[in-house]
Amino acid sequence: MELQERLNDVRSRIAAGERQAARPAGSVELVAVSKTFEAEAIRPAIDAGQRVFGENRVQESQGKWPALKAERPDIVLHLIGPLQSNKAADAVALFDVIETVDREKIARALAEEMKRQDKRPRLYVQVNTGLEPQKAGIAPDDTPAFVSLCRDELGLSIEGLMCIPPAEENPGPHFALLAKLALKCGVEKLSMGMSGDYETAIAFGATSVRVGSAIFGAR
């Protein structure tokens, strides 16, 4: 399949998932994960009308996205990979959405940079639903307090939660946990679901899904 065919297939599956879950059409946003792909490999997706993209690394993104965004100012770029505090300034400058706020040091660095640059990317808190030691994210039990810290002490507007379930586990309970935490925290957005499980995530209330290999092919 060509990229446009794969993209249309993912879009169709998202629409079917919305219908099956009795959710409004268009209620789930597709974040096309373009990490490791060069600009020329991304252009066909842009030409096919895709405008929301996800990247893992700040430095890699700086090499390709400023030019693409200059060509298409309506592109929305999500940071979905780990963020180091020394990259906070670059992340605030480039990204429209930062999904990986996962510790107080990062939250403070972002608050400082957003004030300095007078730029307000939308923010999500990453939750480590599986309590995996090798994976970034706030522990589920600590999430409400962390969201409160971001809002009340640092003045950050947190619009959603994000998770990456353990690869070897059924993702459903993790998606259900994230949805429950979102209600407790008073946030509306849920970034969950990737190429292998985004249809399940839609059934559990995902408002955005992060799909890479099903669109761009194997890395």
pTM, full prediction: 0.96
Which alpha helices (H) appear in the chain, and where do they start and end? Answer: 3-20, 39-47, 58-62, 65-71, 88-94, 104-117, 143-148, 172-185, 198-203, 213-216
Separation of alpha carbons 55 and 32, rounded Å: 9
CATH code for the structural domain at 3-214: 3.20.20.10
pLDDT tens digits in sequence order for the chain, 219 residues long: 699 999 999 999 999 999 999 999 999 999 999 999 999 999 999 999 999 999 999 999 999 999 999 999 999 999 999 999 999 999 999 999 999 999 999 999 999 999 999 999 999 999 999 999 999 999 999 999 999 999 999 999 999 999 999 999 999 999 999 999 999 999 999 999 999 999 999 999 999 999 999 999 887
Structural domain boundaries in the chain: 3-214
DSSP string, 55-74: ES-HHHHHTTHHHHHHH-TT
Separation of alpha carbons 62 and 93, rounded Å: 10
* pLDDT value, residue 31: 98
